[in-house]
Amino acid sequence: MTTIKTLPLVQDGIIITAAGGPDVLHATRLPVPVPGPGEVLVRVAAAGVNRHDCNQRRMGPSYDPNPVPGLEVSGIIVALGEGVPQTRLGERVAALVQGGGYAQYALGPAELALPVPEGLTLTEAAALPEALFTAWFNFFDVLRLRPGERVLIHGGTSGVASLAIPALTACGYEVFATCGNARKCEAAIGFGARAAFDYHASDLAARVKGATGGHGVDVILDVSAGAHLAKDLEMLAPDGRIGHLSAGGGKLLEVPLRTLMAKCLSITGSLLRPLPLTRKRVVAEQVRREVWPLLGTQVRPVIAATFPLLDAAAAHAAIEQGEHVGKILLTVDAGQ
């Protein structure tokens, strides 16, 4: 292992102590991890808070071998595992990690730690990895989005949508969104959505089809565990596809097969974390090539709120209230 300087042996971190609400998140002292082959150790400036973290907390410590939640961080590389170029020491990065982000130091594969784009702070950079990897993988790998197709994203002010909408718009796609109220619809339009609709509307499908000249949308990204499935099938154009990001605790979908067959529709979904590293490396390279040049200029992360690391329980409570627009972050050492 190569390091910038001698590292501490222990660090502050947050662990999940039981299955339950935000109160089961406890601060504790943890050993500083040591990078293995192909890994980097990041001194964390900020960590993203995601619904996956909340789901992991509700399931409890037995759900995951790593009791420290957190799938994305920003910070400075302070140690390298075998095989990682020495030139990466000291690099400012935004990194996708396999858990462990709610701490002062986090491990991650070197290929999934991308340089912080010019024009963004280290804190802002923590909002990038999970959202952009998720959006790119789902739209272009799982859903096979093609030039000229129209997109609709449910939950248009989520961390994923607040980056996916401007990124897809900058790439020339027409993007629509749904949100839970007028304030959020306005925010989604501010991100670049062609139009945004209240997903409570009984005539949602008709509104979407009207906004697309009767064609409908070609691809839908759904974070609602199929809550709008009947309307989705109606608003989809022939050969349309739906991609799910939430399993809703194992929810079962009832699908009208005749509609599915008549329009040649596809319903699929994905989970980013279980993907093998080989696939994540490909996604990382695509995101770096296609999206990274847009960041800091055409695309900026929207930060809804920041909480100190030790207030992780308050951050979880805020994300579960669902009133935020954009990304919620934990700040760890933002003064780096």
Whether 336 shows a pLDDT value over 90: the answer reads: no
Segment 127-148 mean pLDDT: 96
**Buried b vs exposed e over 253-282: b needs ≥16 C-beta within 10 Å?**
eeeeeeeeeebebbbebeebbebeeeebee
Whether 2 shows a pLDDT value over 90: the answer reads: no
Q: Are strands 150-154 and 217-222 parallel, antiparallel or unpaired?
A: parallel
Alpha-carbon gap, residue 112 to 284, rounded angstroms: 6
Whether 114 shows a pLDDT value over 70: the answer reads: yes
Q: Model confidence over 185-221: pLDDT tens digits?
A: 999 999 999 999 999 999 999 999 999 999 999 999 9
pLDDT at residue 253 in the model: 79
Q: Model confidence over 271-314: pLDDT tens digits?
A: 898 899 999 999 999 999 999 999 998 899 999 999 999 999 99
pLDDT at residue 39 in the model: 98
Report residue 258 as tokens.
Answer: 């005749």
Q: Write the CB contacts of 145 (distance below 8 Å, at least 6 apart in sequence).
A: 139, 151, 173, 218, 219
Whether 165 shows a pLDDT value over 90: the answer reads: yes
What is the SS3 string spanning the chain? CEECCCCCCEEEEEEECCCCCHHHEEEEEEECCCCCCCEEEEEEEEEEECHHHHHHHHHCHHHCCCCCCCCEEEEEEEEECCCCCHHHCCCEEEEECCCCCCECEEEEEHHHEEECCCCCCHHHHCCCHHHHHHHHHHHHHHCCCCCCCEEEEECCCCHHHHHHHHHHHHCCCEEEEEECCHHHHHHHHHHCCCEEEECCCCCHHHHHHHHCCCCCEEEEEECCCCCCHHHHHHHEEEEEEEEECCCCCCCCCCCCHHHHHHCCCEEEECCCCCCCHHHHHHHHHHHHHHCHHHECCCECCCEEEEEEHHHHHHHHHHHHHCCCCCEEEEECCCCC
Residue 252 CB-density burial (10 A; 0-12 exposed, 13-18 middle, 19+ buried): exposed
Q: Model confidence over 69-84: pLDDT tens digits?
A: 999 999 999 999 999 9
Whether 5 shows a pLDDT value over 90: the answer reads: no
Q: Model confidence over 251-276: pLDDT tens digits?
A: 777 888 889 999 999 999 998 988 99
- Percentage of the residues of the chain whose pLDDT score is greater than 90: 86
Write the CATH number of the domain with boundaries 131-269.
3.40.50.720
Whether 335 shows a pLDDT value over 80: the answer reads: no
Alpha-carbon gap, residue 274 to 277, rounded angstroms: 9
Give the architecture (CATH level 2) of 2-128+301-331: Alpha-Beta Complex (3.90)
Q: How many other β-carbons are positioned within 10 Å of the β-carbon of residue 23?
A: 12
Whether 89 shows a pLDDT value over 80: the answer reads: yes
**Mean predicted lDDT score pLDDT of the chain:** 94
Segment 131-145 mean pLDDT: 96
pLDDT at residue 249 in the model: 67
Domain parsing of the chain, residue ranges: 2-128+301-331, 131-269
Q: Name the pTM for this structure.
A: 0.93
